[in-house]
Amino acid sequence: MSVKGTGPQLLREYSRGMRFRQIEVFHAVYTHGSISAALGVSQPSVSKTLRHAEDGLGFSLFQLARGRLVPTDEAHALMHEAGDIFDRITSLQHTARNLSQAGGGHIRLGIVPSLALDVVPQAMAQFRREWPRVTFEVHTHHHDDLVQSLIERETDIAIAYTPPRHPRLTRSLLAEGELVVFFPDGAFADAGPRLALDQLADRDVIGVAATGPIGDVLTRAARDRGITYRESVSVQTFFIAARLAQLEGGVTVIDEFTARAWQSPGYRWLPTDPPLGFTVSYVTLEDRPPSKIARQFLRTLEETLEGIRADRP
């Protein structure tokens, strides 16, 4: 028997003759060429499932040749559709599992890389000491991708600097922060508790203008004060700027949380005069507020941010 027809016709024929377990077994045996390698279950169980599938379809799916199961022409034709079906059902199961875990004991976070470096791990470690059964799934995204990760339900909560407004999103403030100058000892004479922004004039600076809204904070402040500096390198993440500054003995302007994480002997950081402020907020879909356990984690994160900011050099 030959299987002919369009993709939708094949799909209807396939779905009439096979259940998902049979699709799963067919896909595994087709992929591995062996019953024993398929799905890690007993050979009689797999063989029985295949026989039921073939009985329902009215044709053979495999033939035994040299100890291996060789797909028939009909199996090759069906596999084109079965692969798509299997991928879609697997994706559906994954989405359903994520939705069921979104509340209660599972928290899916989307965060900008600089907060993933130290701040969020600190908060997670503190939180898990009190709630060891809560599980986390952490995605790092550049600023512009965070909104999409929420809309596509890849994450439940996005944590970002000055997140963009969006009609489907709700923003809530967690903390405030500042950009700081990160520099080697001796780079600036007579540096006080704050470094005058004017001291960046005519210097080579590793730039962070590409890091989203807070990267623009320095650009606007320098333009308003008539300060011109040379952007020797432009990067998208603050920790790359910090590391490159250390390796080159250079100067950069980064968020204070990254500066704290990268501080090392011979390097220091200072807030600027005037201050270059920004906010840290969490964002959720308007119709999906944080679960109870997620709200508890957000309180821990807020306390972590406050504690870090209070510990100024």
- In terms of pLDDT, which residue wins out, 64 or 6? 64
- In terms of pLDDT, which residue wins out, 95 or 174? 174
Out of 136-140, 215-219, 283-287, pick the least confident: 215-219
Residue 53 sits in which domain range? Answer: 7-101
Q: Are residues 67 and 147 located together in one domain of the fold?
A: no
Could you tell me which residues come within 8 angstroms of residue 178 by beta carbon, excluding any fewer than 6 positions away? 255, 256, 271, 272, 275, 276, 277, 278
pLDDT, tens digit, for every residue of 38-92?
555 567 777 888 888 888 888 888 888 877 788 888 888 888 777 677 667 666 6
The pair of structure tokens assigned to 5 is: 């027809």
Count of beta carbons in the 10 Å neighbourhood of residue 271: 19
Contact 170, 302 (CB under 8 A): no
Task: Let me know if residue 2 belongs to a domain.
Answer: no
Task: Let me know if residue 1 belongs to a domain.
Answer: no
Q: 0.75 exceeded by the pTM?
A: no
pLDDT of residue 201: 93
pLDDT of residue 17: 53
Residue 10 has pLDDT above 80, yes or no: no
Q: Are residues 167 and 286 located together in one domain of the fold?
A: yes
Single residue among 65, 81, 101 that ends a domain in this structure: 101
Please name every residue paired with 178 in a beta bridge, in sequence order, or none if there are none. Answer: 277
Stretch 192-197: mean pLDDT? 91
Q: How many domains does the chain have?
A: 3
**DSSP track, 183-195:** EETTSSTT--SSE
Contact 3, 61 (CB under 8 A): no
pLDDT of residue 94: 57
pLDDT, tens digit, for every residue of 115-148?
998 999 999 999 999 998 889 999 998 877 888 8
Q: What is the mean pLDDT of the chain?
A: 82
